[in-house]
Amino acid sequence: MMTPESAQDHTATVSRVMNVPARILFLAHSQPEHLKRWYGPRSYPVTFCEVDFRVGGKWRMAMTGPEGLQGPFFGGTYHEIVPDARIVYDNGFEEPHGGALNLKNAGRMMITATFAETAGATTMTVTTRFSTAAMKAEYLAVGMMEGLAEGLDQLSDVAAELARRG
């Protein structure tokens, strides 16, 4: 069940267990040549990437979609770096509303990535805290997706089915 207006309301968490050491996942976060290969969604690879990987350092990226045009710049600052364990950084578009994307809910988010290794497998957990009230809607959708809101997973499946029929 979701309670209105608690700190948790603005966060969303996703995680996956991977059969790789924590230090390698940390490494994949720390260098542009690696980040470029995983940070963009599959159809929007990162085509510009500069990172100053240290606390207080800036990072900056842009992605290119199937139509071949590079999208708006986004990025932020590294707030916390604990080798092989934890990275905290903020992320947002440089231009208001994401430039040409003209997003209504563009705001800044704070992202915490943690790597917990046990017996060679690492759980990577990513918690995103949305900064503005407008972005809360985004959290809500994520909450549903993660099953935090009971019944919504099922609803989502039904929605897909109904949309196909309708």
Partner 1 sequence: MEPAIDQILAAVANPTRRAILDRLIAGEATVGDLAAPFALSQPTISAHLKILEAAGLVTRGQRANQRPVRLQPAALGELERWIGQYRRLWNDRFDQIEDIARELERKDQHDDS
Residues that bind partner 1 (CB under 8 A): 1-2, 14, 16, 18-21, 24-25, 27-28, 34, 37-42, 104-105, 124, 126, 134, 137-138, 140-142, 144-145, 149-152, 154-156, 158-160, 162-163, 165-166
Q: Provide the minimum distance between the beta carbon of 153 and partner 1 in the complex, in angstroms, as a whole number.
A: 9
Of the pair 3, 56, the CB lying nearest partner 1 is at 3
Of the pair 70, 154, the CB lying nearest partner 1 is at 154
**Positive or negative torsion for Cα 151, 16, 123, 135:** negative
Of the pair 55, 137, the CB lying nearest partner 1 is at 137
**Positive or negative torsion for Cα 35, 38, 40, 43:** positive
Tally Cβ neighbours within 10 Å of residue 35: 19
From CA 110, how far away is CA 90, in angstroms rounded? 4
Q: Provide the minimum distance between the beta carbon of 28 and partner 1 in the complex, in angstroms, as a whole number.
A: 5
Contact 128, 108 (CB under 8 A): no
